[in-house]
Structure 1
Amino acid sequence: MSVPPPLVSPSAMKGRRYDLDWIRVGAFMLLILYHVGMFYVPWDYHVNSPRPVEALEPIMLLTNPWRLTLLFLVSGCATRFLADGFEARGQSGWALAGSRILRLLPPLLFGMFVIVPPQSYYEIVEAAKGLGMADPAHSLVLKDFWLRYVTSTGHWCDADGCLTTPTWNHLWFIAYLLPYSLLLAAMIALPTVRRALQAAGDRVFRGWGLVVWPILYLILIRWFLAPRFEITHALTDDWYNHALSFGAFLFGYLIARSEAARQTLMRMRWPALIIALCSWAAWATYAWVYRGDVNPSEPLRQAMRIVYALDQAGFIAAILGFGARWLNRDAPALRYLSAGVFPFYIVHQTVTVVAAYNLAALHLPLGVEAGLLILITALGCLLAYEVARRIGWLGLLLGVKPQKAERTARSPA
Structure 2
Amino acid sequence: MKTQRRYDIDWLRVIAIGLLLIYHIAIIFQPWAMFIGFIRSDDSLEGLWAPMTMLNVWRIPLLFYVSGMGLFFAMKKRNWKQLLKERSTRILLPFAFGFVAIAPLHIYLFQQFYHMPLSYYASSGHLWFLGNIFCYVLLLSPLFFYLKKHDNGNFKKALSKLMSYAVGPLSMAVFFMFEIAIVKPQLFELYAQTWHGFFIGFLAFFFGFLFVYSGETFWKTVSKWKWLYIGIATVLFAIRFTGFGDISNMYLTTVESNCWIFGVFGLGYKYLNKPSKLLSYLSKAAYPIYIIHMAVLFAGAFIILPLKIHPLLKFIGVLAFTFIFCFLIYEFILRRINILRPLFGLKWKFNKKENGVEQLSKPVQPN
TM-score range, shorter chain: 0.7 to 0.9
| Displacement of 1:364 | 2.0
What is the root-mean-square deviation of aligned Cα atoms in Å? 2.7
2:45/2:311 contact within 8 Å kept: no
**CA pair 246-407 structure 1, distance change in 2 beyond 3 A:** farther
Q: Distance in 1 between matches of 2:208 and 2:216?
A: 13
Contact 1:229 1:240 (8 Å CA) reproduced: no
Of the three residues 81, 85, 88, the one matched with 1:101 is 88
Aligned counterpart in structure 2 of residue 347 of structure 1, from 292, 297, 312: 292
Question: Which structure: larger Rg?
Answer: 1
1 CA distance for matches of 2:349 and 2:122? 31
Mapping 1:156-235, distance limit 5 Å: 165-189=121-145, 191=146, 195=150, 200=155, 202-204=157-159, 205-208=162-165, 209-227=167-185, 231=190, 233-234=192-193
Q: In structure 1, how many angstroms separate the alpha carbons of the residues matched to 2:324 and 2:267?
A: 29
The one-letter code matched in structure 1 to 2:364 is: A
d(CA) in 2 for partners of 1:240, 1:200: 28
Report if aligned partners of 1:103, 1:399 keep a CA contact under 8 Å in 2: yes
After superposition, the Cα gap between the structure-2 partners of 1:192 and 1:119, relative to the gap in structure 1 and judged at 3 Å, is closer
2:290 is the alignment partner of 1:334: no
Give CA-to-partner distance per residue, 1:64-86, whole Å, 9 cap, x none.
00111000110111111011111
Structure-to-structure mapping, 1:6-405, within 5 angstroms: 15-43=4-32, 44-45=35-36, 46-86=38-78, 92-125=79-112, 129=114, 136=115, 141-142=117-118, 145=119, 149=120, 165-189=121-145, 191=146, 195=150, 200=155, 202-204=157-159, 205-208=162-165, 209-227=167-185, 231=190, 233-234=192-193, 238-257=194-213, 258-286=215-243, 300=246, 303-386=248-331, 387-403=333-349
Q: Deviations over 1:156-175 (max 9, x none)?
A: xxxxxxxxx21111111111
Which letter maps to 1:18? Y
Rounded Cα–Cα distance in structure 2 between residues aligned with 1:178 and 1:270: 34
Question: What's the offset of the Cα at 1:104?
Answer: 1.1
5+ long unaligned stretches in structure 1: 1-12, 87-91, 130-135, 150-164, 290-295
In 1: Cα distance, 2:140 partner to 2:153 partner: 12
Distance 1:349 1:124, change over 3 A: same
User: Would the aligned equivalents of 1:269 and 1:317 in 2 still touch at CA under 8 Å?
Assistant: yes
Gaps of 5+ in 2: 351-359
The answer on whether the counterparts of 2:284 and 2:365 sit within 8 Å (CA) in structure 1 is no
Letter matched to residue 13 of structure 2? R
Q: What count of residue pairs does the alignment treat as equivalent?
A: 348
Separation (CA, whole Å) in 2 of partners of 1:37 and 1:119: 17
CA displacement 1:275-296 (0-9 Å, x = unmatched):
111122221222xx8xxxxxx7
Asked if structure 2 preserves the Cα contact closer than 8 Å seen for 1:118 and 1:354, the reply is: no
- How many Å apart are 1:212 and its aligned residue? 3.2
Q: Which residue is equivalent to 1:89?
A: none
TM-score, normalising length: structure 2: 0.86
Q: State the shift of 1:403 in Å.
A: 4.5
- One-letter code aligned to 2:127: L
Q: SS of the residue aligned with 2:171?
A: helix
Asked if 2 retains the 8 angstrom alpha-carbon contact of 1:343 and 1:384, the reply is no
Residues 57/229 of structure 1: CA separation in 2 closer, same or farther (3 Å cut): closer
Please report how far the alpha carbon of residue 252 of structure 1 lies from its aligned counterpart in structure 2 after TM superposition: 1.2
Kindly indicate whether the alpha-carbon contact (under 8 Å) linking 1:172 and 1:233 is maintained by their aligned counterparts in 2.
yes
- 1:11-53: CA deviations, max 9, x gaps? xx95211111111111111111111111012233321111112
Please give the secondary structure, in 1, of the residue aligned with 2:76: helix
Aligned to 1:162: none
Change in CA separation of 1:280 and 1:407 when aligned onto 2, cut-off 3 Å: farther
Q: Aligned equivalents of 2:152 and 2:45: distance in 1?
A: 47
Quote the sequence identity (%): 26
Aligned residue identity for 1:118: L
**So what's the TM-score if we normalise by structure 1?**
0.77
* Partner SS state of residue 220, structure 1: helix
Q: Supply the distance in 1 between the matched residues of 2:28 and 2:156 (Cα, whole angstroms).
A: 41
CA offsets per residue over residues 72-102 of structure 1, 9 Å max, x none? 110111111011111xxxxx21211111001
Residue 125 of structure 1, CA deviation: 4.6
Counterparts in 2 of 1:390 and 1:341: CA distance versus 1, 3 Å: same
- Counterpart for residue 356 of structure 2: none
Q: Is the Cα contact below 8 Å between 1:223 and 1:305 reproduced in 2?
A: no
For 1:42, what is the secondary structure of its paired residue?
Answer: coil
- For CA contacts below 8 A with separation 6 or more, give which structure has more relative contact order: 1
- Partner Cα distance (1:322, 1:328) in 2: 10
Greater shift, 254-263 or 64-73, is seen at: 254-263
